[in-house]
Amino acid sequence: MAEVPSIDIFLTNTLTRRKERFEPLRPPEVRMYVCGPTVYNYVHIGNARVAVVFDVLYRFLRAMGYRVTYVHNYTDVDDKILRAAEESGEPPERIAAKFIRAYEEDMAALGVLPATVRPRATEHIHDMVRLIERLIARGMAYVVDGDVYFRVRAFPEYGKLSGQPPEKLLAGARVEVDPRKEDPLDFALWKKAKPGEPTWDAPWSAGRPGWHIECSAMSMKYLGETFDIHGGGEDLIFPHHENEIAQSEGATGNPFVRVWMHVGFVTVGDEKMSKSLGNVVLVRDLLRQSEGSAIRLFLLGTHYRSPLVFRFEAIVQAEQALFRLRLAYAEAERALEGKGIEAKEEDVAGLLRPFWEALADDLNTPNALKVLYETARSVYSLLKLEDQEGRQRLAAVREALRRMADVLGIDLSLSDVELTEEEAALLAEREKARQARDFAKADSLREELVRRGLIVEDTPTGTRVRRRRS
């Protein structure tokens, strides 16, 4: 059994604006909540980035020996879902079910593990009602004509996550206009039903919850009033996560979350990706062109807190990097097949140490990928060593590659490519040209193979071919 390394983990905490040593409240247990999608449409690459980043954190913490409870929710009642239902003529619950299913299909294709708990907002209305009742009882919320609002001025620390006082937040916010509110910053906890909307019973009216209250109710139900990590996209810092803190701590009087983590925006060119600009890249569309592991390599190639510039050229580069990783792993497998050689655990641990250190430094996936690529490149020099010691070193590299890829969620399996007779003949003719050092002809034949949708890679142990997705 692999020994768990003793290593300190540091994470950047949005709340304190510092990189801090991570210490869970009840080790070896880690409790983590990440805001999931509002399920009214297919998800885009920005949603995927958040899911992949926290999937790697989940995998890494488990590899470090922690027992992780990971909660990832679905917002399945919301104004956007109601609008989509009205436009399509389908019931809101059918819209939500359709896009939850689509999201889970897309995430599975990206290699994202299912969270420990995947709650839906509509399954936890009673928990939200009870939380709102606590807020009203403590003077943190008030009822107006069946609607319930959170009283922001009753929570003096409001703005501590975003680092802005309420006055500045009000100036920069798109605040819901309602003259019945005591303060423009007060936000809805419960909305009295309008005709045709889905409703649930509550002491103040038949209606539905506001957006922010659901995450407080669901996270505390499964993780307790104080838990270790809360994550999401950078766009959620204000107002969503700011409001979560206010209503949760307002109800309990206890700190809500120890470490807040936020993933940077995805930009297309110089612009933030958004539906209003029409520059959204859907995961479903991207998966038709490239496979999930290549998309993961692209997403993990930039540190999670930095903006990520989306370019199709970068996806192609990630595909090439993935193919080289798979080739190296396959070569190691081939050389060791049937030899009965096992890796020494101390050799594997030495290879993994810089990888663990990279991830322990605020989940630095770009540096972790550098270690992965360097380890893969070492395969070819080790293939030349045919003695017992060389083969044991190769076995250690193979095992280290397998464990690194598992934590990063990368599939290293190399599929055989079926070629037509004509394609096989072109490939054989190109190989003859290379052997004859007729490189102009070899390049011309490579271009012909590319036009047919084949990518040709020349490696130290021979030529390998893969087929590009259409």
Q: Is 35 annotated as a binding residue?
A: yes
Q: Which of 117-121, 175-179, 194-198, 228-232 has the lowest mean pLDDT?
A: 175-179
pLDDT given at position 1: 47
pLDDT digits (tens, 9 = 90+) for 339-384: 888 899 999 999 999 999 999 999 999 999 999 999 999 999 999 9
> Roughly what angle, to the nearest 10 degrees, separates helices 345-360 and 365-382?
150
pLDDT digits (tens, 9 = 90+) for 267-298: 987 677 766 667 899 999 999 989 999 999 99
Which positions ≥6 away from 79 have C-beta within 8 Å? none
Q: DSSP strand E in 302-451: where?
A: 308-310
Identify the CATH number of the domain in which residue 308 sits: 1.20.120.640
215 within domain boundaries: yes
Residues 60 and 145 in one domain: yes
pLDDT digits (tens, 9 = 90+) for 399-422: 999 999 999 999 998 876 777 888
3 within domain boundaries: no
For the chain, what percent of residues have pLDDT higher than 90? Answer: 74
Q: Is 313 annotated as a binding residue?
A: no
Q: What is the dihedral of CA 380, 386, 388, 394, to 10 degrees?
A: 10
Identify the CATH number of the domain in which residue 100 sits: 3.40.50.620
Residues 426 and 404 in one domain: no
pLDDT digits (tens, 9 = 90+) for 180-223: 899 989 999 999 998 988 999 999 999 999 999 999 999 999 99
Residues 321 and 232 in one domain: no
Number of domains within the chain: 3
Q: How many CB atoms lie within 10 A of CB 288?
A: 9
327 within domain boundaries: yes
Q: Is 244 annotated as a binding residue?
A: yes
The backbone torsions φ and ψ at residue 62, rounded to the nearest 5 degrees and listed phi first, read: -65, -40
Alpha-carbon gap, residue 206 to 194, rounded angstroms: 10
Residues 231 and 329 in one domain: no
Residues 24 and 161 in one domain: yes
Average pLDDT over residues 106-125: 97
Q: In 3D, which of 226, 262, 223 has the Cα closest to residue 241?
A: 262
364 within domain boundaries: yes
pLDDT band of residue 447 (cuts 50, 70, 90) is confident
**Domain span including residue 132:** 10-263
Which positions ≥6 away from 56 have C-beta within 8 Å? 300, 359, 363, 365, 407, 408, 409
181 within domain boundaries: yes
Residues 298 and 441 in one domain: no
pLDDT given at position 173: 57
* Bigger pLDDT: 41 vs 447: 41
180 within domain boundaries: yes
Residues 330 and 430 in one domain: no
Domain boundary among 366, 386, 408: 408
Average pLDDT over residues 317-332: 92
Average pLDDT over residues 67-81: 96
> In this structure, what token pair is assigned to residue 393?
């070193």
Residues 259 and 138 in one domain: yes
Pairing outcome for strands 147-150 and 141-144:
antiparallel
Residues 330 and 458 in one domain: no
Residues 32 and 64 in one domain: yes
For the chain, what percent of residues have pLDDT higher than 70? Answer: 95
Which positions ≥6 away from 405 have C-beta within 8 Å? 325, 329, 372, 411, 412
pLDDT given at position 467: 77
CB 140 within 8 A of CB 186: no
Q: Given the structure tokens 């958004």, which residue do they identify?
A: 274
Domain boundary among 384, 408, 432: 408
Q: In 3D, which of 407, 430, 408, 411 has the Cα closest to residue 419?
A: 430
CB 295 within 8 A of CB 337: no
Mean pLDDT over each residue of the chain, to the nearest integer: 92
pLDDT given at position 175: 56
In this model, does residue 250 exceed pLDDT 80? yes
Residues 395 and 436 in one domain: no
312 within domain boundaries: yes
Q: Is 275 annotated as a binding residue?
A: yes
Residues 350 and 463 in one domain: no
In this model, does residue 394 exceed pLDDT 80? yes
Q: Which of 4-13, 45-54, 92-101, 196-205 has the lowest mean pLDDT?
A: 4-13
254 within domain boundaries: yes
Domain boundary among 368, 387, 408: 408
